[in-house]
Structure 1
Amino acid sequence: MFARKTIKEVLKEFNSNLEMGLSQKESEIQREKFGFNQLETKKPKSLLSMFFAQLNDILIYILIAAAVISALLGETSDAVIIAIVIVINATVGIIQESKAEKALDALKKLSTPNAVVKRGGEVKEIPSREVVPGDIIIIDAGRYVPCDLRLLETANLKIQESTLTGESVPVDKDATLVLTGDDIPLGDQKNMLFMSTLATYGRGIGIAVSTGMNTEIGKIAKMLDEKVDTETPLQKKLAQLGKFLGIGALFICALMFVVGVLQKRDLFEMLLTSISLAVAAIPEGLPAIVTIVLAMGVQKMIKKNAIVRKLPAVETLGSVNIICSDKTGTLTQNKMTITKFYAGDSLGNIETLNLNDKEQKLLLENLILCNDSTYSENSKTGDPTEIALLVAGAQSDIFKDDLEKKHPRIDEIPFESDRKLMTTVNKYDDEYYVMTKGAIDNLLNICTKAYIKGNIVPITPEIKKDIIAISNNMSDDALRVLGAAYKILKTNHVDIDSLESDLILIGLVGMIDPPRLEVRDSIAICHASGIKTVMITGDHQNTAFAIAKELNITNDSKAVMSGTELDRISDEELNNRIDNIRVFARVSPEHKVKIIKAFKSKGNIVSMTGDGVNDAPSLKIANIGVAMGITGTDVAKGAADMVLMDDNFSTIVAAIKEGRNIFRNIKKTVIFLISCNVGEIIALFFAILLGWASPLRPIHILWVNLITDTLPALALGIDPGDPDVMKYKPRNPKDSLFKNGILSLALNGLLIGILTLAAFIIGAKYYSGDLNLFPLFPKGLKPDALEHAQTMAFVVLSCSQLIHSLNMRNEKKSIFQIGLFSNKYLIGSIILGLMLQIFIITIPPLASAFSVHALSMNDWGFVTILSLMPLILNEIVKMFKRLSSKTLKN
């Protein structure tokens, strides 16, 4: 670590010197050895590879196999329909995947375009990609750092490192420091500069020690390049479901083969029957429906100021039980703000500052005049701490431009990091006020008097003790404390060396990066919903804990862990303690990843929010990464699954609510589709097992699965959400997709299957003229009678499933309690489905393609009664459920 080496040691290691730098030849040798100073980016995926990636699913494999067999057996229409489903599903997936990861590209853009270096004794400006280790780099205010540097010289240098370390205020740098210790956090390496950080004040000279992928930013790039398990809970459940359905389909096909051999059926007929059962076992539209429901969820999120970059993230939000949040800019406003003041023996909030009080007015004037920053509604420049002082003045209608016109500056002593003081001389009528501000300890050493209650009194040990106590109390509240002092001169002929002596202390101000006003309520909602909020920040421990207390994240100081402590403990020890920690302070990007992994190891679904470059690796490795849209860096946005357009923590809570409702709707959709498919399997399986003709043709099943089922399934996917969904605890990601729904699924599947077989038997008996009870299915059925019977079975299967969709809206509430028309899309899909079914039966070309027969009025009466049975029976069951719940409650 170069922070532990002396300037002489570092120069010697790179065979460079401060006056001459590297020669052109030496720089070329270094470039051959280390390469260009740029970040590597991954080769983008081709459309073809993305297409094949979409096909890597067991459900798709089975569909492809079914399509191939159908084509070989001459069932072209079946093969074409299946192929269309596969292509549509892959296309939707590619559209989403085409928003490929841009994190590394964004990191690359962070590199500064030019750097000022010494080459062969000459100062020249070169493209930053040409910087090599050993180059002497010159840094001044407003310039980005081109690579990692060990400082050689500094003059009041301040660096804004918030995007890398999370430090909310610029860091003072000092080249003369030589640090000791093994684990020095990046934020404490005061003699180092890091690539892509910004110089806000002063100047410095450093030697390039790391370039490109070897820099701290480069390490982040490597972490972003690591492959992580990006499967969401729903994707895992659907993958398990696909395997289960695939194995089930193969088992049913094998069983049917055995039955066919025992029944001495025709081999061609057996193959067709097996295809029918395989198609019946698999809900072909499920992958596309889930994708479309998630895509609709994305549109809802946009209206709530959340842009979802990766579709599955919509559903993942619903199962989040831990939100790990960066502090600076996420929980806080990312702007230093004066919150307290002390003047004239009065301590209060800045809003209560009284300009009619001479001490308080002088305190504010001091902080505005002794200030090198600028502030207006449209622009602000300079140090964030000084800008905060000007904002406090503006809130009291005192503006720097106006005040300086009234009291012009005639002399000054600039701020220096070793003095930690700044002084100006300003003209007040015929007098000259020396205005000094700075660290209270340094200021007290040069003050001999204090301005208290309108009187200037000597600073006694008691007064000094009181002032230090007030300063310490502010510091304990994580406030950054600044003191102000003055004295009056009668002449402008001043001795600069004597300005900062014999001063009169006016007072103190305390400032902090304050919490966002709405965040406290959002954290309370999270707590009530069983969601833990954890703060992870690069800021100091006391600052982080103070913000955590104010936001009600924790009041226990033992629930705070520092980055140094993280380095000392093993992963196993962290895993054991992780449940009791609510604040992680002074952490590096590597620490953040370690923390997220520890939470995930306990089976948690973790959301990570952040805005800086330092947050990017943890955003990527979390189950769902959430980046800030306004203050967030491109790197953070590129690594995240979701971007908040308003940078509002509360938007995450709204998104989680939406995610929970979307998962519930997807669950309804899946259970609906599987229960319908179970009905198809039961109808086919028992008919074939009993040696009857097949009640349904393959094209009938495909039509039902792709059109009749799909329309209401999509409508269920956008069912109005439960307003009380945030009152429940997060669902366990290990829970089955069918939890609390397996009995309903099985019984409704059985009911639909029996109703379909009933329609088939009634049609067969009616059109064969065999009205005897036994045998149940007449033998020697003519083709026309069989087509009639299959048509009735086809209509009942289709219509009963459409009606069954109404049952899926709620487990206990009647459809009439919920409101029959509260989901107009569902009613529309049912009406459309019924109309399409009627068209197929009544329009001759369609009837011919589907091998169906026109039905009489009596037939329609039979199928209508049978199709309504799922709704009638489910309403009766729900009534008993409600009565049972009331009894238990009483």
Structure 2
Amino acid sequence: MSKFAYQWSHRLVEEQLNTHLDRGLSEHEALRRQQEEGLNQLDEGKKRSLWLKFIDQLADFMIIVLIGASILSFITGDMTEGFLIIGIVLVNAILGLAQEAKAEKALDSIKKMSSPQAKVRREGKDRLIDVKDLVKGDLVLLDAGDYVPADCRIIESINLKCDESALTGEAVPVEKISDALEEDNLPLGDRVNCGFMGTVVTYGRGKAVILQTGMQTELGKIASMLTATKDETTPLQKSMAQLGKILAVIALGITLFIFIISIVEAYIIDGFVSALIWKESFMTAIALAVAAIPEGLPAIITIVLALGMQNLVKKNAIVRTLPAVETLGSTAIICSDKTGTLTQNVMTIQKVYTNEGFKDIDHTYQTNETVSKVALYGTLCNDTKLQQKEDQLIKIGDPTEIALIDLSLAIHENPLQMHEHYPRLHELPFDSVRKLMTTVHLIDGKHVAVIKGAPDVIFSRLEAIDHDSMSHLDHYIKANQSMAEKALRVLAIAYKIIENPNDLKKLSFDDLEQDLTLLGLVGMMDPARPEVKDSIALCDQAGIITVMITGDHIHTAVAIAKELNLLKPDSLAITGQELDQMDDEMFESKLDKIRVYARVSPENKVRIVEHWQKRGQVVAMTGDGVNDAPSIKKADIGIAMGNTGTEVAKGAADMILTDDNFSTIVNAVSEGRAIFANIKKAIHYLLSCNIGEILTIFLGTSLGLLIFGGRVTTLTAVQILWINLVTDSIMAIALGLEPKEKDIMKDMPRDTKKSIFADGFGSSIIKRGLLLGLLSFGAYTIGWFLGKSSGTEVILSQTMTFMVLAMSQLVHAFNVRSETQSIFKMKPNKAMLIAFGLSMSLQLGVIIIAQTRDIFGITMPNLTQWLIIVGIVIFPVVLVEIQKAIKRSKHKGA
């Protein structure tokens, strides 16, 4: 027996893999093999256990310092404080673990939705399944644009070519054959009857039987050598992590200053520094450092982005990476394909043009010989899958080709019988370079090549016109233009009699696609999607430029663009050929005005994206074919069609549209803006609260001797840690779930070169933080003087500070919801209300329960004191509402 699979004959392939080359495996056998072999996927590395993840939460430097502080409390005999700090540390770790789990779960669900699929034949039926579900012996069908889903043996090749550069480094696509090879120990690049996982079908089609799956594939063997995996971090996460480090340095500097001042004050007052003072000062400084550093900010950003990804799925957009979610809201240019995205992708043939002139096609049409021939040839040169189910003919395929099948049905012909009478003997599949498809059939005793494709391409290759003179070619050219101007998509159908059909399989493009005889033109309508016009108007309002890029005729493109109001009176429409004739300087000068590009090449698309990007614009590009992959990859947001897109296009994309609809892109951009706005709200809340906490402690420590005549501690270490626990992460995540503001698409796209703190955002954070800190210190001062007469100034002032700082931060979250809208007129955010209720209940519970009052060193305020606390907490709301009202009035007056 042959040692290598590439040496096996087809019969041996069938025997060795215990499969059937026509019917494939049974579902039962496939399931059995999967249970035995495992899934067809590469290992992503071992996931860290829950215990290790928990340890990670405790490994943070500031947490280690806190654990050290708790040990110090135990050593000095303060068991209550020690246990409380340990409790807070554990609760924080559990919350962090829950946040991480939530983000992971959201990302995993997105991965499952966007997993690649393969066409497989089981029990004689063709179906799409996830690539991971393939097993050895499965019969897979390969088409241009597919990824080869596993290592496989080719058993049928119809001009099949694969790009194997990712595996072998060979840049030229490899032409695949189905015959057995004889040599031993052939290198991968020479195993031309095999396909390999991770490579791409660039041309033709074929069938193959799976040899190896998952880590047993050639790609899997390489993957097993790699131990490191790269985490996906968004630019915003990186900048926030960097900001966290800067804030940590500042906070530690302030903390050190507060610690030194506390020690100096104690020495000035008492003439010495007791061990208790040393311990209290150290504990307060550590607690403040922990509270002041927003170490959870990157994790919160991840959660908000991940939950945003899940929300986008409900809007028919699968965004595959976190950075893409972040970038989405900054989109300034949308380069959209026409067919199926701006239009409905439901083709109906309206007109046929032959030597007899125009024929309108409708349900009342009575056919003639020429139109019947057009219908026959259009049905034969066609890859639509046809299945007869009772009285219904099921059609699966490209809408343009389905329209040709419908033409045969319209003239009462049976497409299935046509294929049976005139079977396909040879074919040259369609590709975007030739813009042609050719099949060969035996018709009336002659070998006939049937060619369909772009009219201008076929016109350039003609030798004759069926039952007409070549001198009348200009009639066909005008008919093509006339139909295109009416927004009809036009296909030309031609044929060629093959005089010497000795070896059909060796006939090339030059043999079959030159010296053609034109049969006729078909004009089909793909109407614009009714909702797209409003979506383009919304883009105009949002400062987003919409550009149509299509391979269709320029007249068709212009007609649709005008209908959708995409092409404005001062806009331009050009062809790819005209673009090729422009140098970069001329193109740059016209870029702003060009809204329609027709008859473009893949290189044209990349050039268009690059020119917008040179201006610093964030570009979204749609596509569905192999030829679209370079521009999709080049764009800031590459978008593939979920229904009509090839696996290559999907693999290159950042976002996949499950409904292939332009309006979904606009909705996704809107959601992207909302997600980024919510992240800003979370950042605003966390940083302003941190500033408030630092300022409260700083003012007490630095002004204590001056105002209160002695050393004061505005908040104890335990009180600071508790406030940090109940106010930070829960409310920040709730802000990340804010509903979208109604005017979010009235702003211009965000400038990605600007800092997130630009345009007054940074100053707003500082101002709100200062307000929180000043009010909290004011509460301490009031409490001091209210309690002085009864000797309770320390415990009362700390109680009022503790309550005001915590409660004002929780109320402050509602102020952050919008910079302009009143909180009393905004839609309720259920997550915010739940988070607020939970946090406020915990805070009030501490003061209501006598035992916890003793633990935290606070007292129950009387009615007057409660009114003062509530008044101070409400004051920022009143102040911010006035500011918002002023902003709204200025905006109206502008």
Please indicate the TM-score interval, normalised by the length of the shorter structure: 0.5 to 0.7
Partner of 1:470: 479
Partner of 1:809: 817
* Cα distance in 1, alignment partners of residues 369 and 678 from structure 2: 63
Partner of 2:258: 256
* Cα distance in 2, alignment partners of residues 321 and 667 from structure 1: 20
Q: 1:237 to 1:353 in 2, by over 3 A?
A: farther
Whether 2:411 is the aligned partner of 1:393: answer no
Which residue of 748, 751, 757 maps to 1:732? 751
What pairs with 1:177-192 in structure 2 (closer than 5 Å)?
none
Q: 1:259 to 1:828 in 2, by over 3 A?
A: same
Is the CA contact 2:481–2:555 (under 8 Å) kept in the aligned structure 1?
Answer: no
- Partner SS for 2:766: helix
Is the CA contact 2:162–2:202 (under 8 Å) kept in the aligned structure 1?
Answer: no
* Cα distance in 2, alignment partners of residues 287 and 659 from structure 1: 18
Is the CA contact 1:561–1:581 (under 8 Å) kept in the aligned structure 2?
Answer: no
Whether 2:255 is the aligned partner of 1:244: answer no
Match of 1:47, as an amino acid? K
Whether 2:884 is the aligned partner of 1:878: answer yes
1:226 positional shift: 13
Q: 1:148 to 1:109 in 2, by over 3 A?
A: farther
* Cα distance in 1, alignment partners of residues 845 and 830 from structure 2: 22
Whether 2:774 is the aligned partner of 1:751: answer no
Whether 2:784 is the aligned partner of 1:764: answer yes
Is the CA contact 1:111–1:195 (under 8 Å) kept in the aligned structure 2?
Answer: no
Is the CA contact 1:113–1:128 (under 8 Å) kept in the aligned structure 2?
Answer: no
Q: Deviations over 1:431-488 (max 9, x none)?
A: x9999965666997565745xxxxxxxx4x65454235435777998743115999xx
* Cα distance in 1, alignment partners of residues 608 and 477 from structure 2: 37
1:249 positional shift: 0.8
Shifted more, 85-94 versus 434-443: the winner is 434-443
Q: 1:835 to 1:361 in 2, by over 3 A?
A: same
Is the CA contact 2:354–2:521 (under 8 Å) kept in the aligned structure 1?
Answer: yes
Match of 2:695, as an amino acid? I
* Cα distance in 2, alignment partners of residues 324 and 864 from structure 1: 54
Match of 2:476, as an amino acid? I
1:253 positional shift: 2.0
- Structure 2: gaps spanning 5 or more residues: 1-6, 11-39, 74-81, 119-130, 140-148, 166-171, 178-194, 209-215, 268-272, 429-435, 453-457, 498-515, 705-710
Whether 2:701 is the aligned partner of 1:701: answer no
* Cα distance in 2, alignment partners of residues 843 and 608 from structure 1: 60
Partner of 1:44: 44
Whether 2:284 is the aligned partner of 1:276: answer no
Match of 1:391, as an amino acid? D
Match of 1:73, as an amino acid? L
Q: Deviations over 1:256-308 (max 9, x none)?
A: 24424543354323322322331342245544544443344334323212334
What pairs with 1:212-361 in structure 2 (closer than 5 Å)?
231-263=233-265, 264=267, 266-283=277-294, 286-311=297-322, 313-323=324-334, 338=349, 340-343=351-354, 346-347=357-358, 355-356=365-366, 358=368
- Partner SS for 1:398: coil
Q: 1:706 to 1:580 in 2, by over 3 A?
A: farther
* Cα distance in 2, alignment partners of residues 594 and 56 from structure 1: 46
Q: 1:474 to 1:749 in 2, by over 3 A?
A: same
Q: 1:145 to 1:814 in 2, by over 3 A?
A: closer
Match of 2:365, as an amino acid? L
* Cα distance in 1, alignment partners of residues 496 and 756 from structure 2: 68
1:381 positional shift: 7.3
Number of residue pairs the alignment of both structures matches: 737
- Partner SS for 2:521: strand
1:768 positional shift: 2.6
* Cα distance in 2, alignment partners of residues 612 and 548 from structure 1: 22
Q: 1:844 to 1:558 in 2, by over 3 A?
A: same
Whether 2:91 is the aligned partner of 1:81: answer no
1:696 positional shift: 1.2
* Cα distance in 2, alignment partners of residues 710 and 636 from structure 1: 39
Match of 1:89, as an amino acid? G
* Cα distance in 1, alignment partners of residues 876 and 789 from structure 2: 29
Is the CA contact 1:55–1:90 (under 8 Å) kept in the aligned structure 2?
Answer: no
Whether 2:859 is the aligned partner of 1:853: answer yes
Q: Deviations over 1:31-83 (max 9, x none)?
A: xxxxxxxxx997523334999999999x9955435434433433453354345
Shifted more, 670-679 versus 507-516: the winner is 507-516
- Structure 1: gaps spanning 5 or more residues: 1-17, 22-39, 117-126, 132-136, 150-163, 166-171, 175-191, 205-211, 427-431, 451-458, 487-502, 771-781
Is the CA contact 1:330–1:610 (under 8 Å) kept in the aligned structure 2?
Answer: no
What pairs with 1:593-608 in structure 2 (closer than 5 Å)?
603-608=616-621
* Cα distance in 2, alignment partners of residues 557 and 236 from structure 1: 41
* Cα distance in 1, alignment partners of residues 41 and 495 from structure 2: 50
Whether 2:831 is the aligned partner of 1:794: answer no
Q: Deviations over 1:807-858 (max 9, x none)?
A: 2233234333x25x73455445444443332211011232233222222222
Is the CA contact 2:291–2:693 (under 8 Å) kept in the aligned structure 1?
Answer: yes
Q: Deviations over 1:467-523 (max 9, x none)?
A: 35435777998743115999xxxxxxxxxxxxxxxx998743246998767556545
Partner of 1:64: 63
Is the CA contact 2:572–2:594 (under 8 Å) kept in the aligned structure 1?
Answer: no
* Cα distance in 2, alignment partners of residues 279 and 138 from structure 1: 65
* Cα distance in 1, alignment partners of residues 872 and 578 from structure 2: 65
Q: 1:505 to 1:847 in 2, by over 3 A?
A: closer
- Partner SS for 2:602: coil
Q: 1:148 to 1:433 in 2, by over 3 A?
A: closer
Is the CA contact 1:338–1:509 (under 8 Å) kept in the aligned structure 2?
Answer: yes
* Cα distance in 2, alignment partners of residues 419 and 233 from structure 1: 45
Q: 1:413 to 1:759 in 2, by over 3 A?
A: closer
Partner of 1:508: 521
Q: Deviations over 1:196-235 (max 9, x none)?
A: 539878999xxxxxxx9999xx99x9xx999999543432
* Cα distance in 2, alignment partners of residues 88 and 195 from structure 1: 43
- Partner SS for 1:73: helix
* Cα distance in 2, alignment partners of residues 330 and 202 from structure 1: 29
Is the CA contact 1:293–1:666 (under 8 Å) kept in the aligned structure 2?
Answer: yes
* Cα distance in 1, alignment partners of residues 230 and 578 from structure 2: 26
* Cα distance in 2, alignment partners of residues 390 and 760 from structure 1: 82
Is the CA contact 1:285–1:706 (under 8 Å) kept in the aligned structure 2?
Answer: no
Partner of 1:822: 828
1:621 positional shift: 7.1
* Cα distance in 2, alignment partners of residues 679 and 375 from structure 1: 69
Match of 2:243, as an amino acid? L
Match of 2:721, as an amino acid? L
* Cα distance in 2, alignment partners of residues 712 and 479 from structure 1: 58
* Cα distance in 1, alignment partners of residues 290 and 422 from structure 2: 88
Is the CA contact 2:422–2:442 (under 8 Å) kept in the aligned structure 1?
Answer: yes
RMSD: 6.0
Is the CA contact 1:682–1:750 (under 8 Å) kept in the aligned structure 2?
Answer: yes
Is the CA contact 1:625–1:642 (under 8 Å) kept in the aligned structure 2?
Answer: yes
- Partner SS for 2:721: helix
Q: Deviations over 1:103-136 (max 9, x none)?
A: 99979879997899xxxxxxxxxx99487xxxxx
Whether 2:211 is the aligned partner of 1:197: answer no
What pairs with 1:624-773 in structure 2 (closer than 5 Å)?
624-632=637-645, 640-691=653-704, 692-739=711-758, 740-769=760-789
1:389 positional shift: 1.5
Match of 2:776, as an amino acid? T
Partner of 2:168: none
- Partner SS for 2:860: coil
* Cα distance in 2, alignment partners of residues 113 and 338 from structure 1: 44
1:879 positional shift: 3.6
Q: Deviations over 1:515-546 (max 9, x none)?
A: 76755654554344233456778xxx665996
Q: 1:437 to 1:662 in 2, by over 3 A?
A: closer
* Cα distance in 1, alignment partners of residues 232 and 589 from structure 2: 24
Partner of 2:146: none
* Cα distance in 2, alignment partners of residues 873 and 130 from structure 1: 70
* Cα distance in 2, alignment partners of residues 226 and 609 from structure 1: 32
1:322 positional shift: 3.5
* Cα distance in 2, alignment partners of residues 78 and 173 from structure 1: 68
